[in-house]
Structure 1
Amino acid sequence: MNQENSKKDGSHIFSKAKEATDKSKDMIVNAIDQNGNGEIDVEDIIIMGLRIPGIRIKRDDFLHRELQRYYPESTILDAINYTPAHAHISKKDIDHIANEVIQYERNCVSGISAALGIPGGVAIAATIPADIAQYYGYMLRAAQKLMYLYGFPEIDTSEKTSQFDSETINILTLCLGVMYGVAGANKALTTLANGLAAGVEKQLLKTALTKGTIYPIVKSIAKFFNVRMTKEVFAGFFKKAIPVVGGVVGGGITYLSFKPCCEKLKDSLQDTLLSNPDADSISSSPCIIIDNPNNYCE
């Protein structure tokens, strides 16, 4: 009889523990699900990141602040109005500033990750979304800065009726895809840069990003991140059940992983027609074929 009661008690405890875990997981999904589709996906992460104060970068202000250490005002204005390459800013200086950007953002995000990893218990559900948002927020901030250094025009990070422009989401998805080495992301970003350098109309490029030739690559990257995000979030959920260790490990892993991701994006941006008019990239053609989404440039 005692053995039977013991089994019932054990079963009850297990059931309660599972119920509490499921409830915490639901809380995390609800906190992260910014687009309301009931899932954790890359769009949620980008939206959360961009809503963090200081993550959105104003291109003009950033370029002026960085370039004023090395160049006169006339050169800076040329870089702002066109591109740093157009202003004849040396590749060495651009690469140097890019390396400083990566190191600065790396130091910021790793410190925050360690701090956010410390709470345990009931605080877990609250800190997981913050941890994820901060990490990818700083990655998005680094991506914007690198894009502007290597010739991209300002992307629209303003919210319209509580939503970000789909073109913005897709450009940043491409950048994250390059950072994580997702197949096709590097070529798609180079194609986009070459299109911009060749003067392809903005509306055509937007179409390529949202339903044309580049869009299938964006969808492929999104699928990759949807799986990765779910694994990362819930691996973090269990890791943070051991509070202090979770914080230390989280900060260390973040510090090690952040730089290689940013370096991949920098390498991709270095050799396009936007950053180097003499670049021997895919081709001098923008290679944007709007009316056939399956005819992606090879």
Structure 2
Amino acid sequence: MVKIQDVVNRAETEIIKHLDANGNGKLDIEDIIIYGLRTPGVKVDRSKFLSNEFRLHYNSETITKALATTPMSAGIPLDKINEIADEVIKHERYFVSGISAALGAPGGVAMVATIPTDIIQYYGYTLRAAQELMYLYGFPEIISEDDEAQIDTATMNTLIIAMGVMFGVAGANGAIKAMAKALGEGVQKQLMKKALTKGTIYPIVKNIAKWFGVKMTKEVFSGFFKKAIPVAGGVIGGGITYLSFKPCCDRLKESLRDTALSNPNHTETKEEKEIFETIAKEVCQIEELS
């Protein structure tokens, strides 16, 4: 008779094999982002998204300015942005609950073959919601056409920080607010990339990635995955991801709604100020050398 633990161990090995996109032999947040962005519909076109969300409420001149700058700069009130953000979260939550419900269908060990796809789809909706919320609250295009074939390190790190905020990882909130301030004060995209890949934000990214590594090993395998296999008649219900998805989106929304890119009355936090000051020093050093 096959032991349940043996089944789970084999299933874990299969998941890692299927999801190890960066080839480091383990499941981590980079794998999730790489595969997630390869999933059709996950990448969000900033211009199309904002145009669709604003067209029923604002004229073409306002929308054009919002696309060229930020919704705040175009005069779109924060209350309206918050309202649209709530609708976006509600919309994405509806679809992600269907993925979780599918995991509850009986199938025993045969479900192992479908689990990687379900995990990617779940995190894919999380990534899509993250992009949409960041665009609503003033961030520029995250994934450009140049990133289509391969996601560059700066883009990867931006998304890791956003997901860190969504899951409440220490340091992520201050990092995303400092990034918003830097962008709001005109720090060029190329200089921002350096801060994300070699500068003061990079250690924060590494800490977030490490946190996700532990989470995915401990919770996805030991908790979520074991429950997903309907051993002895036990099944997982659609309510699990339905209930967990909204709090993640709400955390990011709450962080983004009060930054230099979205709130004209924003008051920076101590953590945000410290990170931004370090970014500013790094930018000055880079400019002096160039």
Settle same-fold status: TM greater than 0.5: yes
CA distance in 1, matches of 2:235, 2:119: 14
> Which residue does the alignment assign to 1:192?
179
Match of residue 282, structure 2, among 287, 290, 293: 290
**Partners of 2:174 and 2:275 within 8 A in 1:** no
1:259 counterpart residue number: 246
Structure 1 residue identity aligned to 2:229: A
67-76 or 273-282, larger mean C-alpha shift: 273-282
Structure 2 residue aligned with 1:240 = 228
Aligned residues of 1:118 and 1:246 also touching (Cα < 8 A): yes
Question: Distance in 1 between the 2:107 and 2:82 partners?
Answer: 41
Matches of 1:111 and 1:18, distance apart in 2: 28
Kept in 1, the 8 Å contact 2:43–2:143? The answer is: no
1:113-128 matches, within 5 Å, as: 113-128=100-115
- Which residue number corresponds to residue 122 of structure 2? 135
Contact 1:148–1:154 at 8 Å: present in 2 too? yes
1:83 corresponds to = 70
Quote how far apart the aligned CAs of 1:257 are: 0.9
Q: Using the TM superposition, give the Cα deviation of residue 204 of structure 1 relative to its aligned residue in structure 2, in angstroms.
A: 1.5
Q: How much identity, in percent, do the aligned residues show?
A: 54
1:272 paired to 2:259:
yes
Aligned to 2:142: 155
| Kept after mapping to 2: 8 A contact 1:118/1:245 | no
Map Cα deviations across residues 32-81 of structure 1 (whole Å, 9 max, x no partner): 11111000001011112111111110000000000001000100000001
Farther-moved stretch of structure 1 (36-45 vs 150-159): 150-159
Aligned-partner residue type, residue 235 of structure 2? G
* Matching residue's letter, 2:118: D
Partner of 1:99: 86
Residue 99 of structure 2: aligned partner = 112
Shift of 1:193: 0.5
User: How many Å separate the matches in 1 of 2:216 and 2:144?
Assistant: 22
**Alpha carbons of 1:141 and 1:238: their partners in 2 closer, same or farther (altered >3 Å)?**
same
Post-superposition offset of 1:238: 1.9
Moved more, 230-239 or 172-181: 230-239
Residues 115/20 of structure 1: CA separation in 2 closer, same or farther (3 Å cut): closer
Q: 1:259 to 1:18 in 2, by over 3 A?
A: closer
Task: Provide closer, same or farther for how the CA distance between residues 160 and 175 of structure 1 changes in structure 2, counting only shifts above 3 A.
Answer: closer
Tell me how far apart the structure 1 counterparts of residues 230 and 123 of structure 2 sit (CA, whole Å).
23
Q: Aligned partners of 1:141 and 1:155: how far apart in 2?
A: 11
The residue aligned with 1:74 is: 61
Structure 1 residues 230-239 or 142-151, which shifts more? 230-239
- Find the counterpart in structure 2 of residue 52 from structure 1: 39
Q: How many residues align?
A: 277
- Give, in whole Å, the separation in 1 of the partners of 2:125 and 2:213: 19
TM-score, normalising length from structure 2? 0.88
Which amino acid in 1 is paired with 2:133?
L
| Most deviating of 187-196 and 270-279 | 270-279
Aligned position for 1:216: 203
Q: Distance in 1 between matches of 2:186 and 2:112?
A: 47
Question: Which of the residues 16, 24, 27 maps onto 1:29?
Answer: 16
C-alpha separation in 1, matches of 2:40 and 2:32: 15
Shift of 1:129: 1.1
Q: Aligned residue for 2:213? A: 226
Shift of 1:17: 6.7
Superposition CA RMSD, Å = 2.3
Counterparts in 2 of 1:173 and 1:198: CA distance versus 1, 3 Å: same
Aligned 8 A contact 1:124 1:237 in 2: no
Matching residue within 163, 166, 174 for 1:179: 166
Unaligned runs of 5+ in 2: 284-290
Distance 1:271 1:114, change over 3 A: same
Q: Distance in 2 between matches of 1:271 and 1:231?
A: 33
Residue aligned with 1:145, SS: helix
Gaps of 5+ in 1: 1-12, 292-298
